Amino acid sequence: MMISYFICPLTWPRGIPFGSVNLLYGVDDDESKITSTAGGGTLTLEFGVLSRLTNNTVFEQVAKNSVRGIWARRSKLNLVGAHINVFTGEWTQKDAGIGTSIDSFYEYVLKAYLLFGDEEYLYVFQEAYKAAMHYLHHDPWYIEVNMNSGATVWPLFNSLQAFWPGLQI
């Protein structure tokens, strides 16, 4: 039995999609209820363009709801964690960083603003960027911290952080 949340994605419980969806059948009953922040934030460009090509705004709205769902659950430090439960909206991994499981969230909110001119995406990017520079930048590079306290949880960097200088440019 497949869960039919993809059939009507506006019904995703917190606005954040599952990590894997079969486009023909929906979401498998065994699919994890946990998704990465990067995965939830990477639909904006493709779904936004799809809406424009089909004249059907539902695709863009769903992608925007996903970004809103993640951003609404940010910490008081304006940091987002790495993994979130799509049903409860609770963070299951509270490590904040610019790399693994979060990288595309930063990248796509800025690109969505640049492509579509939507000021809401720019606002999210600017606030997230300020928080990243304040809490994650540890000269000469970036660390991972607890999204709520700002305490270091991983003092090393990983290859998925390599996009950051290009994003800054």
User: Tens digit of pLDDT for each residue in 128-137?
Assistant: 999 999 999 9
- Examine residue 17 and state whether it is found in any structural domain, yes or no: no
Asked, for residue 15, whether it belongs to a domain, the answer is no
pLDDT of residue 18: 73
* Of 3 and 148, the one with more pLDDT: 148
Say yes or no to pLDDT of 154 above 60.
Answer: yes
Integer Cα distance of 27 and 45 in angstroms: 22
Q: Write out the two tokens for 69.
A: 């769902």
Please report whether residue 50 resides in a domain: yes
63 lies in which domain range?
34-168
Q: Residues 6 or more apart from 149 whose CB is under 8 A from it? A: none
Mean pLDDT value across residues 47-58? 94
Structural domain contains residue 27 = no
- How many structural domains are present in the chain? 1
Q: What is the pLDDT of residue 27?
A: 76
Tell me, yes or no, whether 14 lies in a domain: no
pLDDT of 12:
61
| pLDDT (tens digit per residue) in 6-50 | 444 544 667 777 777 776 777 777 777 888 999 888 889 999 999
> To the nearest 10°, the Cα dihedral for 122, 125, 131, 132?
-150
In a domain, 23, yes or no: no
Residue 10 lies in a domain: no
What percentage of residues in the chain have a pLDDT greater than 90?
A: 67
Most confident range, picked from 1-10, 40-49, 110-119 = 110-119
Q: What's the confidence (pLDDT) of residue 162?
A: 92
Q: Which of 76, 53, 62 is nearest to 149 (CA)?
A: 76
Structural contact between residues 150 and 77, judged by C-beta atoms closer than 8 angstroms: yes
Q: What's residue 23's pLDDT?
A: 66
pLDDT given at position 157: 85
**2 has pLDDT over 90:** no
- Sequence-distant (6+) residues with CB within 8 A of 88 are 14
For residue 73, tell me if it sits in a domain. Answer: yes
- Tokens representing 133 are 């520079």
